[in-house]
Amino acid sequence: MAPAIAHFLVGASVFLLVAAPICLRYGINREYGLVLIPLGGLWGIIPDFHNIAPMGTAALYRFHNSPWVDLFGLHYTLDRTLVREQYLLSVFGAIALFLTAVGVFWIGFTVYSRITTGRWEVDSVAVSLVSTAVSAGYATVGMATVISIQDSFGTVAVLVGSDNSLVGGLLLVPLGLGLGVMAAVGMELFVDEALVCDPLTATGLGFGVGVGYWLVGVAFVVPLWLRLVSDTAVAVPMLHWGSLVICGVFGTVFGVMYGLVRGLVSSGYPRRLHTR
């Protein structure tokens, strides 16, 4: 398995990166981020509890080896053979991710303060572009986590005529960005700005977009695409609950993040819980 320090740092990093837009949107002091580091770290290493558990170690070990532990700071992914074989790279990669997460969390408050005080001016196009990029990034990670739990990276790779799981994982980057851009364009063109800037409403819109991707993309676009890239019949499950969950998670995460980030610098936002 991956080193415990890697699990700890990745868990802490995920907590910080998820908390950053929430803290910014609702005016939560960034000093509280210090609390998130140990909490996130412990969350990331919870599946390794079987090593010190006084009882039930067999059941805990089976749970540790299931894809579901990716819900704990991508624990299962970090324990994959490809990562385990790169011991030093996994440790230094986790350190780099943690430093990046701390930087994003801390600097984000400084940037936001300069924007809201008028020291920096940001036009609406830039706000939409940044919101799209950030939201698509978070949504892609969420989608990748669900795909990892379903062990379906190989299925994703079929879209480009491969069965390599690594190819499937890399393919999610442009796929997630493209889906995010389409979702953002639709929300900006057809939904009132005040609704887009409300995280709760944006979450519902995002879920609807995800279901739309499932009904249209998975049911019709994917089969047509496979006929173009492959001369032989490819057994790829189309309309099933697994793909619905994947699309739903992507849309939901995109929606909530878009509402949070988009509303940060829009008129009348954010709704702060308290002032600093």
Per-residue pLDDT at 251: 96
Q: What is the pLDDT of residues 62-82, one digit of tens each?
A: 888 888 898 998 888 888 877
Q: For 138-182, what is each residue's pLDDT tens digit?
A: 999 999 999 988 888 888 888 888 888 888 889 999 999 999 999
Question: What span, in angstroms and rounded, lies between the C-alpha atoms of 267 and 110?
Answer: 19
The pLDDT of residue 26 is: 84
Q: Looking at residue 237, what is its pLDDT? A: 55
Q: Pick the closest to residue 137 from 265, 260, 250 (CA basis).
A: 250
Residues in the chain where the model's pLDDT stays below 50:
267-276
- pLDDT value at position 268? 40
Q: Where are the domains of the chain?
A: 1-121, 122-276
Nearest CA among 218, 226, 220, 221 for reference residue 245 = 218
Rounded (10°) CA dihedral 65, 69, 73, 76 = 30
- Contact between 26 and 264 under an 8 Å Cβ cutoff? The reply is no
pTM of the model: 0.83
Q: What local confidence, expressed as pLDDT, does residue 269 receive?
A: 43
Residue 51, SS3?
Answer: helix
Q: What is the pLDDT of residue 235?
A: 55
pLDDT value for 143: 94
> Which helix (H) or strand (E) element contains residue 132?
helix 124-149
Which pLDDT belongs to residue 30?
A: 81
Residue 79 is given by DSSP the state T
